[in-house]
Structure 1
Amino acid sequence: MYLHIGEDILVKTDEIVTILDKKLLESSPILAEFLQQKADVTLHLAKNSIKSIVVTTKHVYYSPLASMTLKKRSQQHSIVVDE
């Protein structure tokens, strides 16, 4: 399954490590250090302000979508109807 995380970017859900609220960045020096180390694989999807940080096995995305929105989207299941 794929998750739309903003700006036409889809990420495989089995590659997502965590989805973090942007507020954690302001209060966690460890997270800030981690993100500095991952700067070479970081993609900024937000044109204005970021609302969440999506960490995958390959990249870190700064998303314009709220972490709760992404959580809800990730929990939705596709329904296939046989006719």
Structure 2
Amino acid sequence: MYIHIGEDLNIRAKDIISILDKESANHSPLIDEFLSHHKERLINLSKNPFKSVIITYDKIYLSPIASGTLKKRSNQTNIHEFI
């Protein structure tokens, strides 16, 4: 299943390691250090301040979509997956 994460980009749900909300990302020195260390993998999809951080095996996305919305999208089942 694919999840729309912003700016016409869909990624496979099984490739997502973590989805973090903006507050966690902004107030944690560990996450700040992680993002600084992996700047070459960072892709900003948000024209405004980002609402969530999506960590995959290959890339890290700053998304304009809230983490709660992304979680709901990841829990939806698609009938086409079973055909």
TM-score where L is the length of structure 2: 0.92
Query: Where in structure 2 are there 5+ consecutive unaligned residues?
Result: none
Amino acid of the residue matched to residue 78 of structure 1? N
Q: Which has the larger radius of gyration?
A: 1
**Correspondence 1:32 to 2:32:** yes
Query: Where in structure 1 are there 5+ consecutive unaligned residues?
Result: none
Q: CA deviation at 1:79?
A: 1.8
Q: CA deviation at 1:26?
A: 2.0
**Correspondence 1:68 to 2:68:** yes
Q: CA deviation at 1:49?
A: 1.5
How many residues are treated as equivalent by the alignment?
80
Q: What's the CA shift string for 1:5-60, capped at 9, x where partnerless?
A: 00011111111000000111221100000001110011000011100000000000
TM-score where L is the length of structure 1: 0.92
- Which protein has the bigger helix share? 2
Kindly report structure 1 stretches of 4+ aligned residues shifted beyond 6 Å.
Answer: none
Identity of aligned residues (%): 45
Aligned to 1:3: 3
1:23 partner SS:
helix
